[in-house]
């Protein structure tokens, strides 16, 4: 389906992650390509699903939701959050990941206040054991997707027990 991405594709991806509203002309200038050439590449990246869309980046703090937390759920049998509720029931839950290990899922929640967070935890707690971690500060998130480094291919194998 998706052909290998070359260096120019990755430069385009990097630029569009920094500014998703660049015109083909502006984008072409930054990657040393003519407007029609970048337009064709971008079209292919969109078609292959590498570029899933273009979004405004909303700052939750400025938007009035300064508090964030991680919640590991270990759902009780028959009460699993994923099977007994819908997304609309918990607008505060902005991410849901199914996990390996002892927890069944990891949630990321955003709330307006501590009181709001308290209420949310009580509602979530009805579905099983929780392990919560309040975020004190976010160093960064949404870091740009980058081309695989050389380390990704030449992985250092651990010594011992090797065949």
In whole angstroms, how close is the CB of 42 to a second copy at the nearest point?
Answer: 9
| Binding residues for a second copy restricted to 59-88, rule: CB under 8 A | 59-60, 62-65, 68, 70, 72, 82, 87
**Which does residue 160 bind out of DNA, a second copy, none, counting CB within 5 to 8 angstroms by kind?**
none
HSE value, Cβ hemisphere, 13 Å, CA-based, for 84: 12
User: Can you tell me which residue has the tokens 């028959």?
Assistant: 78
The total number of residues shown for the chain amounts to 163
Which pair of structure tokens corresponds to residue 163?
């065949």
**Which does residue 7 bind out of DNA, a second copy, none, counting CB within 5 to 8 angstroms by kind?**
none
In whole angstroms, how close is the CB of 146 to DNA at the nearest point?
Answer: 21
How far is residue 63's CA from residue 111's CA, in Å, rounded to a whole number? 11
| Binding residues for a second copy restricted to 5-34, rule: CB under 8 A | 5, 13, 16-21
Verify binding: residue 79, DNA, rule CB under 7 A.
no
CA dihedral 138, 50, 7, 143 (to 10 degrees): 0
| Binding residues for DNA restricted to 19-58, rule: CB under 7 A | 23-26, 28, 32-37, 39-41
How far is residue 86's CA from residue 70's CA, in Å, rounded to a whole number? 19
Which pair of structure tokens corresponds to residue 18?
């920094």
Where do contacts with DNA occur on this chain (CB under 7 A)?
Answer: 8, 23-26, 28, 32-37, 39-41
């Amino acid at each position: 389906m998706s052909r290998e991405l070359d260096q120019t594709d990755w430069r385009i991806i990097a630029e569009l992650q920094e500014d998703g509203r660049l015109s083909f002309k502006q984008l072409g200038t930054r990657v040393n390509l003519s407007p029609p050439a970048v337009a064709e590449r971008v079209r292919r990246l969109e078609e292959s699903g590498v570029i899933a869309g273009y979004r405004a980046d909303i700052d939750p703090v400025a938007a009035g939701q300064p508090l964030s937390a991680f919640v590991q759920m270990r759902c009780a049998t028959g009460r699993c959050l994923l099977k007994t509720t819908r997304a609309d029931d918990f607008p505060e839950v902005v991410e849901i990941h199914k996990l390996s290990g002892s927890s069944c899922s990891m949630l990321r929640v955003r709330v307006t206040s501590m009181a709001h967070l308290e209420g949310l935890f009580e509602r979530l707690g009805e579905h099983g054991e929780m392990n919560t971690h309040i975020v004190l500060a976010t160093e960064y998130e949404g870091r740009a997707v980058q081309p695989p480094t050389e380390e990704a291919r030449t992985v250092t194998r651990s010594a011992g027990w090797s065949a």
